[in-house]
Amino acid sequence: MATVWFCLVSLMLAIYVVLDGFDLGAGIIHLFVGKTLEERRAVIGSIGPVWDGNEVWLLATGGTLYLAFPELYATGFSGFYLPLIIVLWLFVLRGTSIEFRNAVESPVWIPFWDVLFGFSSLLLALFFGAALGNIMRGVPLDASHRFFEPLWTNFRVGAVTGILDWYTILVGLAAVAALALHGALWVALKTEGDLEQRAARVARPLWGLVVLFTALITVATFALQPQLAINLRRYPWGYAFPALAIFGLAFIMIFLRRSRMKAFLASCAYLLGMLSSATFGLYPFVLPSRTDPAFALTIENSQAPAYGLHVALVWWIVGMILAAGYFTHTYRRFAGKVRPGEGYGH
């Protein structure tokens, strides 16, 4: 059951990244692709009906993590207290920017919230990437499964680490590039005219950055996390996950001119492949230790009692069926293009 729940938590996190990822990406690029206030309103309108619903997946992932691996939840939330508070405030700032933007018709008010929307979206992507980098690299866990990391130390990867070092910043920048590309493809899919063409043009250099960052973080992760190579030798079928990411990345450019929908789905495949590769590479660890491998949190020493996991699985299936139905209805209900002047809050 521990392995089952490890896979389910990983799946929910991947769904969150794919869905809320284009929200964040649209926020990162909207100042660059939207040349007028109406075009920026259309960019926000492309995510307007779904952005808050997409964030529910993060809450659901946190709740599932608490249910299945309470030791990991307690350790992670206490050790990452500072960045979690920063992320919380960035979510508040981003949501406020979307809702307050159209509250007052003013040449100062609207651009102010547009800048805050882009800034908070970029920092959220950066911090989420850095968080993934911390997990892949490992943290200074002690024998009691506790740790504390300052925001940074000397930016080196050693036994005493900070939340930010060269590796976690590299993964954070890769996340910014990947989600910006994901958002650009979404905006190109949901808009038309000059705005659509501009979003597609922005996607091309972003694709090159994603290719570069993917290569860099792959090499760095193999060097810092030996469990990745161990799992690939032990379970050769795991090569399917990086293959999915590679094919997804390649097909983005193949489909970008032919089909906006297929290009966006290829981006979804890339994100799923990268996240699946990361979780596959960590298994059975859920939080590696850089001080002593014996102190690491695994699926076995951090899981909830087996009976609770069996009962919870039934309710998880019911909940996921309801959630899938709701999201299917929502995305079908708001399908189609968003035109300038028809943005969120119009």
Alpha-carbon separation of residue 71 from 12, 30, 122, 250, 297 (angstroms): 19, 39, 30, 39, 8
Let me know if residue 152 belongs to a domain.
yes
pLDDT at 304 (0 to 100): 93
- Residue 298 three-state SS: strand
- Taking the CA atoms of the chain, what radius of gyration do you get in angstroms? 20
- Separation of alpha carbons 205 and 16, rounded Å: 25
Domain of residue 167 covers 2-333
**Confidence (pLDDT) at 145:** 87
* Residue 341 belongs to a domain: no
Question: How buried is 169 (Cβ within 10 angstroms: 0-12 exposed, 13-18 middle, 19+ buried)?
Answer: middle
Residue 345 belongs to a domain: no
**Domain contains 344:** no
If one counts the domains in the chain, the total is 1
Query: What secondary structure does DSSP assign to 18-55, as a single string?
Result: HHHHHHHHHHHHHHHH--SHHHHHHHHHHHTTTHHHHH
Query: Is 342 inside a domain boundary?
Result: no
Confidence (pLDDT) at 179: 98
Distance of CA 341 to the CA centre of its chain: 30
Q: Is residue 312 part of a domain?
A: yes
Q: How far, in Å, CA of 275 to CA of 36, rounded?
A: 35
Q: Average pLDDT per run of 10 along the chain, which is 346 residues long?
A: 94 95 95 91 90 90 92 90 91 92 86 94 96 93 88 82 92 98 96 93 96 97 94 96 97 92 97 96 94 91 92 93 90 82 53
Residue 300 lies in a domain: yes
Rounded alpha-carbon distances, angstroms, from residue 132 to 230, 260, 265 = 20, 29, 23
Please report the pLDDT score of residue 258 as a whole number: 87
On whether residue 122 sits in a domain, the answer given is yes
| pLDDT value for 346 | 42
